[in-house]
Structure 1
Amino acid sequence: MLARAIDAFLDHDANISFLADPKLKGSSSKGALRLKTMSVFSGGELLLNSIINVVMSGVTGNFKFTSDRNLVNPAFEIINVVGTGFKRTGYWSNYSGLSVSLPERLYERPANHSSFKQQLYPVVWPGETTKKPRGWVFPQNGRQLKIAVPSRVSFQDFVARVTGTDMFTGYCIDVFFAAVNLLPYAVPYQLIPYGDGRNNPSGTELEYDAAIGDIAITTNRTRMADFTQPYIESGLVVVAPIRKLSSSAWAFLRPFTREMWCLSGVFVLLGGAVVWILEHRINDDFRGPPSKQIISLTSRSIHAGERTIGALGRLMLPLWLFAVLVIKSSYTASLTSILTVQQLSSPVKGIQSLLKGDERIGYQQGSFARDYLVEQLGVQESRLVPLRLPEDYAKALNDGPRHGGVAAIVDERAYAELFLSTRCEFSIVGPEFTKNGWGFAFPKDSPLAIDMSTAILTLSENGDLQRIHDKWLLRSACSSQGAKLQVDRLPLTSFEGLFSLCGLACLVALLIYFTKMIYLFNQRYSEPESSGQSSRSRRLHMFLTFADEKEEATKARSISRETEWNSCTSMEQNASTFSSQRAS
């Protein structure tokens, strides 16, 4: 192109001349360049115009500049150098971007810069591989990272050393390999086992460049090292023996606790009694002989479907019926679950029941569970029994505390679930009482901890982490379908709010009712009474009689007494008038 421009420049009879530049001044110092003897090319503008006006066909196609000095439809061929030869990988242009089609053809179509259209033929990288290089190598001054791996003797599905080699297998190892392969750079490393091979190692002082495996992330450990994002959740749980609950003639009593049964009975009778009191004087349905009333009160407490007349009765009955409905529905749901689903029971209900007792507790030798039980929960060390193998777990639980075994085992959920996958006579009881997980450990401020966390999150998002989990840990010889641990029976505390609300409503209704009754009684029996115990007893008896009377009868009697009193008053007045007349 430059030769073509120079030819065009010379075709215009231009002379190549150089003129002295007055801006260039020589230096007076000895040995300096004689700048005043230098000169510059004087035909630059003409040569530039000649270059811009060049129109030609070159190896990249048509060559031409626009008015703003940009190439018209620029395009480049991308080649892949392979050994001593090369192959075409694709093309690039401003119009289409990366493409495997000729740019001339793409200029005839509408521009499309979508990522789906940006493509090239496969590239062969140095080493005759199509795998994309990972960029720079993690700087370690040319040495490999020394990564510690625990030599476990139990639960080797997580970490296991291949006998006679320096290779490792297991769930944790596969997660590490998958995460390292996602790093944007190569990490040379060497896996080094730690532990005596006879006991599970309890930890490492991180004298290595990193540590991988079933390493729980705890508060004390985070003070010494940086951990990656957890790749598995594994809090502490309680494992205990379970047994199937056989059905019995008294299975219908299981839904409620003893206290709940007692208070429910009292509540039903009390609610019926309150409604009976409120309606007794005004409603014929709530009157009759005492024997009939007792039977009626009991039946009304159960069914509560009678018609109410008084305002207080109409207010109390719906509230009481709602409470009865809640109790009946809860009982029905719980009883249905008990009778239709196989129930499993355990003498241990969780960590709280273990702390209240004095039975021996097992834990995995080398686990942080021992320190947590002693330092955080205050369990006496004499109660703790270290166990190594899953077989030791099963024997200690089957023997029980009475025969030298343990009442339960406290371990991390990941180990517990793997142990329980083939041992159906045990189960996790109670909730998980710590929240932590497993991660890979690195020295403080190591950039690898952040990059490995990002890689683990990527594995979780694309499903690879779950696939690794299913490969190593998804197996079970126990069918838990249709069976569950016995649910705690409905306790009194679950209905405290309901009972309190109904009790308060009953108390207010009775208070209003008896205040009204005392007021009416004092109005109708306002004659003064002599003091003394017999007087108070007589007045109480009169009040009870008044309260038991039907309201219409009381009103009628009151009217009769008023009429009689008025008649007597009239007769006395007439007699007085007659006497006065006779005297006059």
Structure 2
Amino acid sequence: MPITALQFMENDVAAIIGPQSSVLAHVVTHIVNELQVPLLSFAATDPTLSSLQYPFFVRITQSDVFQMAAIAELVDYFQWREVIAIFIDDDYGRNGVATLNEKLTERRSKIFFKAALGPEANVTNISDLLIKVALMECRVIILHANPDIGRIVLSAAYRLDMTINGYAWIATDWLPSLLDSYGPLDSETMDTMQGVLSLRQHTPNTQRKRDLVLRWRELIGGDNGGDFRLNSYGLYAYDSVWMIAHALDAFFDDGGAIIFSNDSRLQDANGGTLDLKAIRLFDGGSPLLNKVRSTSFDGVTGPVQLDSDGNLIHPAYDILNIVGTGSRSIGYWSNYSGLSIESPETLYLNPPNRSNQILYDVIWPGQTTQKPRGWAFPNNGRELRIGVPYRVSYPEFVSKEKGSDTMKGYCLDVFFAAINLLQYPITYRLIPFGNGFENPNYTELVEKVVSKDFDAAVGDITIVTGRTKEVDFTQPFIESGLVILTSVKERDSNAWAFLQPFTWAMWAVTATFFLFIGSVIWILEHRINDEFRGPPKKQLVTIFCKDPIGYQVGSFTETYLTQELNISSSRLKVLHNPSEYATSLELGPDKGGVAAVIDEHPYVELFLSTNCKFAIVGSEFTKTGWGFAFPLDSPLAVDMSTAILKLSENGDLQRIHDKWLMRSSCSSDSMEIESNRLQLNSFWGLYAICGGACFLALLIYFIIIICQFHRHFAEQEPETPEEGSSKSGSSRSGRILQSFLSFADDKQGSTRSKSNRGQMEQSARTNDVDFVS
């Protein structure tokens, strides 16, 4: 083909329309660049063929950049994360798949496996490759080929049961081109394509397009006169002819001329069958190229105009679903608004909007409307290797029966229940991780999943930030978090219990502020109020200590305490089982024990169910959960998460929890309520202080009253005539008591008035006596 193109150019060519493949276009573009001849291609979709690298290459069709972007958006729409790409191993196939990988990466998806086929691949080669693909987990296959190879691939896949329920096939635009060109194929061939999704370059259904199709049928002999029809590439070829015609017309209008000149580099070359001396440069190539790039008109494919990158404006694709003897449209993709069930022409009338991506329902392989999951466990006899922590303490969560390989526990029951909810069978083997003498290191267990030693890890595995960067966790099946466990000091309630809600430091600060406020009032009032006289006082109490802290061996607690809370490792003491918890807490920090134990809430909850001398202090200071670990991007993690949510919704998760973790041999709740309840003897000290203060105030008050009454009674006594001797002493006592009660009940001001009035009367009588005498 390249030789034929060169032979054709011996005849002084001013422009070329073609070629029909990207591979040939790669060769011809080098030639036209040297000879400055515009090349208008209606079929070369290879994205690496750009006007930046090849200035005289003009693409009058859609670039595969947009087709691969549409496929990536389809993959994202159906929530698949991995695909297998089957492609022809040439420039067209390799460059297209490389672009697809870039577009998938932008949407956090990837190509799981690249299956390359040679351009001359036969049925045997293709079948061998498909068998290899069938043994993989991924079930979403992108087929980027030419019509000849593509038909063979689908036929071989059909024979290998790879077009049944569970698979998803997406073919690039080679498949609609085949169907549009030759009409309905034979039923045997169509059976191999059922449920396949494909993309076709979108061309509006205009009157101009319908007229061309009608004339084409007349040219080839009517409906029965031929079996070749126009596909989208034929329509672009038609517009390519009109584009060069418009460009030449503008070129001649500007005074351009078709003039060629010899190339000195070809004068002495020996081309064998080629007369290289006859190949000449087109002097008007650059002006004509500029006219081509600036040409704009309405063609049978819609508006024909190039953007600044040399691509046709408004790139769009029809999304087709192969069903029955043909295809049905389930929507469109455009670079303007993404996926939509409305035609791109309608969308162009409104502002771009990608918030409502929608397609019609798809009939998938196997004649089902249920979206394929996108992956499955291959039926190749391989079982999953699942690592399970071989715990020593807290066997209720995970444990291994002595003398057998059977493992059981709360976490495993959750795993078994979730596995049973999956809609596909899974073969697996539980492998204990640990030496059986102490709890294993859970970080090392997660690393085994990362290194592919285990396919998953199941157990009481805490979901922490560092681990989520290396593996995918399922939905948490139990909430967790670090709590502080300490011993409960049993104290008898005493008279000063009311002081305990505040620490001494709190009391000191309160007293300090009380004195401070009093000082402010004294400063403001002491010059005008004699009661505000007194020196200020201050008090400060500071308490600080660093006691040893215990943690469970193998857990992430040590890392959290040292790295996140910056607690010195010298303060940390490793504990191996619940009995060590109890012993260390009972001993306390002064006798070689610990002041507190930091551990996860589920462990502490189980510990407290049988140890009522201890309690949780404060609230959880981390909030996380336990989950099962899978390799990154594992689809099984997603399905297991869904299964765990179902267990939570139907109550099975709670029943499993109650089976293993509901233990209570002591009424810790009632103890806590009783110990926290305030009693009468907890406040008798406060009542004694208040009562004593009141009694002292009354005592002082009555002393003052008695003194005042004594003076008052002495002043009033002369006014009272002497009683006869016959009066008894009891009458006098009664009179004094009655007078005292009346005096105590009088207002202080009136008492003083009476006293003053009595003194004045007494003085007046004395003066009268003196006057008479």
Give the TM bin, normalised by the shorter chain. 0.3 to 0.5
TM-score, structure 2 length as denominator?
Answer: 0.34
Q: TM-score, normalised to structure 1's length?
A: 0.45
Q: Which has the higher contact order (CA 8 A, sep 6+)?
A: 1
